[in-house]
């Protein structure tokens, strides 16, 4: 088959349902490259979708010959029923490439299995290891380090000198603004003790026209190119796993001064 489907960093996905109403939208960015000599039209779908899911097929449109693009697959789901604060569901994603805009002339397809780890970050089954609300007006341990330490491929200057700020927040009265000192990246070290699993939930608000990169330990989970296509001017929730019995540095990199706020950074474990 001339179509391939792989994953970046991790085959699994993590999704915090805390406070969300049904149906939930699971936005999954996918990078696609068309190395053919002609345009291809791509479709992504969940193969044999469980009944809880809707919008399980999406036509992503054309990608020109030799071009690459990021697309977002956004199926919706009923709220999962959690057991001990979590629920794992394995799906088979399928990417199809067609030679025509009517999606009738199949060029090829490929499939990829992924497990989505749903959880509720405020469920009592989890221990709240750290929760940064910034509502006391402090930085709660967030600092800045020199350089583009999340995604060095960022082409513009990055800025950070974080401080509590009341412009944007989830929990009043403060969020954490990224600041205006150039060539700096925000970070915080999170230490997880003797647990079996841990999660981190990051909420950010980014001004339109700018981009963000997020690195968790040595994993660049949101490269700047992905941060560029994610929503702006609203609060975005991203979740991921953290290693246990370890200290992990989480880095948030933004390419302009005073354009990004963080709030409700939650680290949970069980």
Q: Which of residues 230-269 bind another protein (CB under 8 A)?
A: 230-231, 234-240, 263
For 175-238, the DSSP string reads EEE--S-BSEEEEEEEEE-S-S-EEEEEEEEE-TT--EEEEETTEEEE-HHHHHHS--SSEEEE
Options 22, 35, 100, 156; binder of another protein; rule CB under 8 A = 35
- The nearer residue to another protein, 79 or 181, going by C-beta atoms, is 79
Listed ranges 35-43, 132-140, 176-184, 252-260: which one lies at the site for another protein (CB under 8 A): 35-43
Of 75-134, binders to another protein (CB under 8 A) are 93, 95, 97, 107-108, 110, 112, 114, 116
Residue whose C-alpha is closest to residue 24's, from 45, 49, 54, 1: 54
Separation between Cα atoms, residue 141 and residue 194, nearest integer Å: 22
Options 52, 62, 79, 170; binder of another protein; rule CB under 8 A = 170
Options 172, 183, 209, 243; binder of another protein; rule CB under 8 A = 172
Query: If DSSP states are collapsed to H, E and C, what string results for 224-254?
Result: HHHHHHCCCCCEEEEEEEECCCEEEEEEEEE
How many CB atoms sit inside 10 A of residue 97's CB?
A: 23
Q: Which residues contact 218 (CB under 8 A, 6 or more apart)?
A: none
Of 179-218, binders to another protein (CB under 8 A) are 203, 205, 214
Q: Which residues contact 36 (CB under 8 A, 6 or more apart)?
A: 2, 65, 107
Contact between 34 and another protein per CB under 8 A = yes
Instruction: Give the nearest distance from C-beta 156 to another protein in angstroms.
Output: 16
Separation between Cα atoms, residue 200 and residue 9, nearest integer Å: 16
- The nearer residue to another protein, 30 or 129, going by C-beta atoms, is 30
Instruction: Give the nearest distance from C-beta 194 to another protein in angstroms.
Output: 26
Contact between 54 and another protein per CB under 8 A = no
Structure tokens at 68: 């690459």
Per-residue x/- track, 142-161, another protein (CB under 8 A): ----------xx--------
Strand partners, 223: none
- The nearer residue to another protein, 237 or 251, going by C-beta atoms, is 237
Listed ranges 50-58, 134-142, 226-234, 251-259: which one lies at the site for another protein (CB under 8 A): 226-234
- The nearer residue to another protein, 209 or 233, going by C-beta atoms, is 233
């Amino acid at each position: 088959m001339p179509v391939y489907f792989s994953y970046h960093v991790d085959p699994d996905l993590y999704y915090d349902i805390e406070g969300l109403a049904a149906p939930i939208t699971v936005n999954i960015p996918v990078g696609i490259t068309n190395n053919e000599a002609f345009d291809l039209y791509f479709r992504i779908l969940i193969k044999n979708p469980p009944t809880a899911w809707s919008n399980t097929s999406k036509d992503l449109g054309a990608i020109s010959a030799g071009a690459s693009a990021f697309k977002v697959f956004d199926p919706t789901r009923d709220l999962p029923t959690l057991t001990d604060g979590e629920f794992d569901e394995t799906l088979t994603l399928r990417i199809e490439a067609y030679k025509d805009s009517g999606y009738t002339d199949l060029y090829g397809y490929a499939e990829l299995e992924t497990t989505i780890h749903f959880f509720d970050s405020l469920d009592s089954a989890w221990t709240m290891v750290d929760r940064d609300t910034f509502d006391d007006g402090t930085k709660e341990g967030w600092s800045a380090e020199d350089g583009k330490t999340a995604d060095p491929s960022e082409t513009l200057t990055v800025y950070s000198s974080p401080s509590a700020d009341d412009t944007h927040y989830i929990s009043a009265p403060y969020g954490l603004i990224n600041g205006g000192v150039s060539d700096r990246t925000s970070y915080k070290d999170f230490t997880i003790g003797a647990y079996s699993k841990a999660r981190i939930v990051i909420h950010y608000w980014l001004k339109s026209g700018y981009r963000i990169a997020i690195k968790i330990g040595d994993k660049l989970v949101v490269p700047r190119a992905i941060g560029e296509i994610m929503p702006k001017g609203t609060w975005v929730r991203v979740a991921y796993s953290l290693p246990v019995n370890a200290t992990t540095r989480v880095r948030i990199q933004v390419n302009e001064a005073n354009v990004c706020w963080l709030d409700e950074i939650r680290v949970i474990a069980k």
